[in-house]
Structure 1
Amino acid sequence: MQWIEWLGEHFIGLFDAGGKQFMDLFTGIVPTLVVLLTFTYAMIKFIGEERVTKAIQATSKFMIFRYTIMPILSILLLTNPMAYTFGRFVKEKQKPAFFDSLVSFLHPVTSLFPYANAGELFVYLGVANGLTQAGYATSELAIRFFLVGIVVMFLRGVITEQLTKILAKRM
């Protein structure tokens, strides 16, 4: 019967640990998130939504910007999942590639901007925790993760756009 007692204590312990983690996030990252989002929306209002829209549409004409700058801005300004709405600024035939580049950057963005995809923050924090325990700094990891993410999202955007063109010709 001791196993029942052990199971009961550890079962509720799981929820106690989850509650502690939730409170750590709520008192740590949530206030930062609120301030960053408020700043972003204030800047858009200050600049003007029409101007922002025109600038983004002009940027989408160039492949390098379409699969680097646009996804980065959409994730940082709108966060996941609202970042997908930036797809409205690209042509219909470019939407699959834009979506692919955007999705591939959702994890790397958490290394420097955890508010942008807080639901997936555990991936980066797990790796960072392992490095911290091994005695390494996480700052280098964060920057490398972010930069490699930019390269990967650009490559995925370009490759997916080419694949979309090939498949469209077949239809």
Structure 2
Amino acid sequence: MKIIEWFGENFIGVFQAGGQQFVGYITGIVPLLVALLTFTNAVIALIGRERVDRFMKASAKYTLLRYTVMPLLAVLVLTNPMAYTFGQFLKEEEKPAFYDAAVSMVHPVTGLFPYANAGELFVFLGIANGVVEAGYSQGSLAVRYFLAGIVVICIRGVVTERITKFLMNRAA
């Protein structure tokens, strides 16, 4: 009989803990995400959608900007998965590399800009929890994750572009 009582008390405890975690997200993370998304959209509205489009077309001309600035802005402005539509500003042989860079950027921005890829937020917060418990700063982790992401997307973009051009020339 004691086992049944223990099971009953602890079984509902799992759901109570889940409910407390959910309330924490609703009162903490969700308002933050809404505020960041609102701010980003307000900045775009102030700058003007046409200017943003012109800037993206100009950025597409230069390899370094094409695989750093463009994917970063795409992820911050349009979030995941709409960020990939910024590929419309590129030549056909550059689109696979842009996609590779953009899809690689949706993870590193999560620590600083959680609205950009909310699905990844839970992974980042899990890692950040361990880092904080080890005595380090979550902010420091977010900045390092972001900077490493910029380097990685640039490398991936350049390498993928070269591979794509090689394969396209070979097929022709």
Same fold (TM over 0.5): yes
Counterpart residue number, 2:110:
110
Deviation at 1:153, TM superposition (A): 0.5
Q: Which amino acid aligns with 1:106?
A: V
Give the partner amino acid of 2:44.
I
The number of aligned residues is 171
Look up the equivalent residue of 2:64 and give its one-letter code.
I
Residue 60 (structure 1) aligns with: 60
Q: Deviations over 1:82-132 (max 9, x none)?
A: 212211122221111011011111111112111211111122212211121
Matching residue's letter, 2:129: N
The 2-side partners of 1:139 and 1:154 are apart by 23
Q: Distance in 1 between matches of 2:92 and 2:6?
A: 57
Report the Cα distance in structure 1 between the residues aligned to 2:150 and 2:71, rounded to whole angstroms.
9
Is the CA contact 1:96–1:161 (under 8 Å) kept in the aligned structure 2? yes
2: CA distance, partners of 1:130 / 1:15: 23
Q: How does 1:74-89 map to 2 (within 5 A)?
A: 74-89=74-89
Distance 1:28 1:96, change over 3 A: same
Tell me what 1:25 maps to: 25
For 2:34 and 2:103, locate their aligned partners in 1 and report how far apart those are by CA, in whole Å.
23
The 5 A counterparts of 1:11-160 are 12-160=12-160
Question: TM-score, with normalisation over the residues of structure 1?
Answer: 0.88
Which whole-Å deviations, capped at 9, do the CAs of 1:3-34 have from their partners, x for residues lacking one? 66666655554443333222212211221222
Q: Does the CA contact (< 8 Å) of 2:36 and 2:113 recur in 1?
A: no
User: Would the aligned equivalents of 1:79 and 1:117 in 2 still touch at CA under 8 Å?
Assistant: yes
Contact 1:107 1:123 in 2 (8 A): no
Could you tell me how far apart the structure 2 residues matched to 1:37 and 1:18 are? 26
Unaligned 5+ runs, structure 2: none
1:108 alignment partner, SS class: coil
Shift of 1:45: 2.3
CA distance in 2, matches of 1:12, 1:79: 37
Q: Which residue identity is paired with 1:119? A: G
- The alignment's TM-score, normalised by the length of structure 2, stands at 0.88
User: How big is the alpha-carbon RMSD for the aligned residues of Structure 1 and Structure 2?
Assistant: 2.0
- Preserved contact between residue 112 and residue 142 of structure 1 (Cα < 8 Å): yes
Query: Is the CA contact (8 Å cut-off) linking 1:29 and 1:115 kept in structure 2?
Result: no
State how far apart, in whole Å, the 1-side matches of 2:48 and 2:148 are: 32
